[in-house]
């Protein structure tokens, strides 16, 4: 058994830092879903696809800790963050207005691995799981990798990131619960036939853990390597508190520095996230 600190942790091009950032825009995309644009020159120039930033969204009794958010896009001196209003932190984020200042810690974590020589990647997004896949899609397309995106949402209005994916991906394959856009049903339903086409050499996925787990199984069956991006409650974001652990074949690892992206085959999935219990 290995526990705790692994010496092979996070290969970081640029170390994380504290940065005082400014809200440029805060746009409502759908019911309870927002896009926050931050002027954050240091983070924007150093973040890699799949990394996250740790934000102090507000001060006061309900906001002791930072909140981690994937970086959806980075361009120029700005980063974009997709968020869903779920608790006190994201409610406070929804109230942010242009000009508001925030304290950012980042970029943090180990993002997506893009091996040399991959030709066609399948990105599978479930709901807000589109967040860390935006930058990845742009990066892959920029490197000449063909990108197919499968995205699932309750309805067309909630297909988050659609514009970006349609712009950079060779194919965009939506699935909605109500059939208002693309196939009716779950994204895992469109993922399987796509994998059966046999043209992919890497799968990247983010979304509800049970969905990622199914995508991991489907990828393994199709003999395509798969990377997952796992969400955990965390306090420090820099590897000290050991709140955000993920059980893996390589021991107990930290989502904040060893992840949030992990090779799917290393993850020992939480029994509570079994497809059988959902």
Partner 1 sequence: MSSVDLRVEIAGLELANPVMTASGTFASGREFADFVDLSRLGAIVTKGVSLVPWEGNPSPRMAETASGMLNSIGLQNPGVEAFRERDLAWLAGSVPGLPVIVNVSGHDLAGYVGVIEALEDEPGVSGYELNISCPNVDAGGMAFGTDCAAAAEVTAACRAVTARPLIVKLSPNVTDIVSVARSVEAAGADAVSLINTLLGMAIDTSSFRPKLARVVGGLSGPAIKPVAVRMVWQVASAVEIPVIGMGGIMTADDAIEFMLAGATAVAVGTANFVDPTSTVRIVDGLAEFCHAHGVGCVSDLVGAVDVS
Least Å from the CB of residue 4 to partner 1: 5
Residue number, 104 or 123, with CB nearest to partner 1: 104
Contacts for 142 with CB less than 8 Å, ≥ 6 apart: none
Residue number, 56 or 171, with CB nearest to partner 1: 56
- Name the CA dihedral angle for 35, 39, 43, 48, rounded to a multiple of 10 degrees: 40
User: What single-letter DSSP state applies at residue 57?
Assistant: -
Q: How far apart are the C-alpha atoms of 238 and 253, rounded to whole Å?
A: 12
- Residues in contact with partner 1 by CB under 8 A are 1-5, 7, 15-18, 56, 61-62, 64-66, 105, 232-236, 238-245, 252, 257, 270
Q: Tokens for 262?
A: 């992990």
Residue number, 119 or 233, with CB nearest to partner 1: 233
Least Å from the CB of residue 231 to partner 1: 11
DSSP 147-211: EEEEEEESSGGG-TTHHHHHHH-SEEEEEETTSSSSEES-HHHHHHHHHHT---SEEEEESSHHH
Handedness of CA 239, 241, 242, 243 (dihedral sign): negative
Least Å from the CB of residue 32 to partner 1: 16
Least Å from the CB of residue 267 to partner 1: 13
Residue number, 4 or 193, with CB nearest to partner 1: 4
Least Å from the CB of residue 228 to partner 1: 16
Contacts for 144 with CB less than 8 Å, ≥ 6 apart: none
């Amino acid at each position: 058994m290995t526990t705790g600190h692994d010496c092979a942790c996070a290969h970081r091009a640029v170390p994380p830092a504290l940065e005082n950032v400014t809200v440029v825009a805060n746009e409502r995309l759908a019911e309870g879903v927002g896009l926050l644009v931050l002027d954050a020159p240091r983070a924007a120039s150093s973040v890699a696809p799949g990394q996250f930033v740790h934000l102090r969204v507000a001060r006061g009794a309900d906001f002791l800790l930072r909140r981690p958010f994937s970086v959806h896009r980075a361009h120029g001196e700005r980063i974009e963050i997709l968020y869903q209003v779920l608790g006190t932190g994201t409610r406070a984020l929804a109230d942010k207005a242009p000009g508001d200042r925030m304290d950012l810690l980042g970029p943090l974590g180990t993002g997506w691995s893009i091996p040399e020589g991959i030709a066609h990647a399948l990105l599978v997004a479930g709901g807000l799981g589109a967040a860390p896949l935006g930058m990845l899609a742009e990066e892959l397309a920029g490197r000449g990798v063909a990108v197919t995106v499968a995205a699932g949402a309750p309805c067309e209005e909630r297909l988050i990131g659609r514009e970006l994916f349609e712009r950079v991906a060779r194919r965009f394959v939506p699935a909605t619960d109500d059939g208002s856009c693309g196939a009716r049903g779950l994204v895992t339903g469109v993922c399987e036939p796509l994998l059966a086409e046999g043209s992919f050499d890497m799968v990247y996925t983010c979304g509800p853990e049970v969905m990622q787990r199914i995508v991991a199984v489907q990828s393994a069956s199709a003999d395509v390597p798969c990377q997952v991006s796992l969400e955990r409650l965390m306090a420090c974001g820099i590897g000290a508190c050991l709140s955000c652990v993920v059980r893996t074949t390589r021991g107990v690892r930290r989502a904040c520095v060893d992840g949030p992206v992990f090779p799917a085959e290393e993850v020992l999935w939480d029994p509570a996230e079994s497809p059988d219990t959902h």
